[in-house]
Amino acid sequence: MNVVVLGAGLVGGPMALDLAQDDDMNVTAVDKQPEALEQVASRNPEIATVNADLSSPQAVTELVSEFDLVLSAVPGFLGFETLRSVIAAGKNVVDIAFFPENPFDLDELAKNNGVVAVVDCGVAPGMSNLLIGHVDQLLDHTDSALIYVGGLPEIREWPYEYKAGFSPIDVIEEYTRPARYVENGQVVVRPALSDPEFIDFPKVGTLEAFNTDGLRTLADTIDAPNLKEKTLRYPGHIEKMAVLRETGFFDTEPLDIRGSSIRPIDFTTRLLFPKWKLEQGDVDITVMKVIVEGQAGGTSKRYTYELFDRYDAQSGVHSMARTTGYTATVAVRLLTAGLYTTPGITPPEFLGRHDACVSFLLDGLKQRGVEYTETVDQGA
């Protein structure tokens, strides 16, 4: 099995290394940053590397044509067109790109080309979707699903008390992209960072939660009157990001400054990203809680899934790369094992409808130290 990983950054690199542990997989990592490829190659010289610019859809189609399966870890702004190019090449794909477009717009293309395309296959969106889809088919009716999730540095350092465990430009998207959720059967659109609340988590303490656009396909695929996702940060982060956003630091329209045209977002990222960089050895954590309530056999049921994951010092892999990346690599193995073969766009909640797929993913993650705990009790 010849597998290509598009993107070899904070998450893509560890994904390539994880897949390369399988004797039956030949892995190639692709990135435009030579230093990212050098880091992967230094960890495992058997991984082939290709230095290429993935912003050209035609180049992507040509690049992936020689491989059996594609794992896409490109930034969100490249995600949709990259996925379209992979599908056009007729290659099965697992995708973790956080793009704003609707992936179902590519459903017909995927079906026509006989392509299985598993999208949003990270931690959240990703495992959150899968678990909700799993519980939804266990219940007679789902009343609500609520997701709390965040990746954080274990050590809080002023001024931001935050490090980016994935593409920083995708982090800023969480602060600017309007958040969709479902309330009383109606789709509601609210600004990102809205509706803050404080929640206590074991091993972490008090975190603040706010609306983000992480519900994704669940708003269309799960028939429930209440669905919401919120992102977690250390208290005080919301106000800092809101000040930057409302002042215009995240704007994409160019400004003329002394005869030079500069986009505020480019200036901001140049300043922020070095401060947000997750360095090798920095300890990060991932916290997630998924609560699904509904009816089964005339009884109210509540399913709660919880995750607490920490940087693995032995492997040197950060928690966000473990929880996001390993979900995708286990999904690659799921496809190669033939456990799911339905052509078309497949969000993780579709995999959640199949017990064998759920067990395969949970077991594969547990083998890598990423463990979800399940609690089932009587609902409210």
DSSP string, 35-58: HHHHHHHHH-TTSEEEE--TT-HH
| Residues whose CB falls within 8 Å of the CB of residue 262, separated by 6 or more in sequence, listed in order | 254, 255
pLDDT band at 280 (very low <50, low <70, confident <90, very high): confident
Which tens digit of pLDDT belongs to each residue from 135-194?
999 999 999 999 999 999 999 999 999 998 667 788 898 899 999 999 999 999 999 999
Assess contact for 218 and 132: CB atoms under 8 A.
yes
* 26, pLDDT greater than 90: yes
Per-residue pLDDT tens digits for 68-86: 999 999 988 899 999 999 9
- Which of 125-139, 202-216, 270-284 bottoms out in mean pLDDT, i.e. has the lowest? 270-284
Q: Give Cβ neighbours of residue 295 (< 8 Å, ≥ 6 apart).
A: 139, 140, 141, 143, 301
pLDDT band at 278 (very low <50, low <70, confident <90, very high): confident
Predicted TM-score (pTM) of the model is 0.93
d(CA 105, CA 271): 36
CA proximity to 30, closest of 80, 1, 76, 67? 67
- Is residue 347 within 8 A of residue 216, CB to CB? The reply is yes
In this prediction, residues 35-46 reach a mean pLDDT of: 94
Residue range 210-229: mean pLDDT, rounded: 94
The label of the residue with tokens 């435009």 reads 32
User: SS3 for 173?
Assistant: helix
pLDDT tens-digit map of 324-361:
999 999 999 999 999 999 999 999 999 999 999 999 99
pLDDT at 10: 87
- The residue-averaged pLDDT of 296-305 equals 95
What's the pLDDT score for residue 366? 98
Report whether the peptide linkage leading into residue 125 is cis, meaning its omega lies within 30 degrees of zero.
yes
106 DSSP assignment: G
Q: Is the peptide bond before 159 cis (omega within 30 degrees of 0)?
A: yes
The encoded tokens of residue 259 equal 């005869």
Please name every residue paired with 344 in a beta bridge, in sequence order, or none if there are none. Answer: 116
Residue 165: its pLDDT value, please? 67
- The tokens for 41 are 């190659």
- For 132, the enclosing helix (H) or strand (E) is helix 127-138
Number of H helices, E strands in the chain: 14, 18
Q: Average per-residue pLDDT in the chain?
A: 94
State how far Cα 283 lies from the chain centre: 19
What does the pLDDT read at residue 379? 62
Give me the mean pLDDT over the 308-337 stretch. 95
CA dist., res. 117 & res. 106, Å (int) = 9
In the DSSP assignment, the letter for residue 9 is: S
Chain-centre distance for alpha carbon 367 = 20
In the chain, what are the domains?
2-123+318-370 (3.40.50.720), 127-310 (3.30.360.10)
Report CA-CA distances (Å) from 228 to 70, 103, 158, 211, 290. 30, 19, 30, 8, 10
The dihedrals phi and psi of 183, each to the nearest 5 degrees, come to: -135, 125
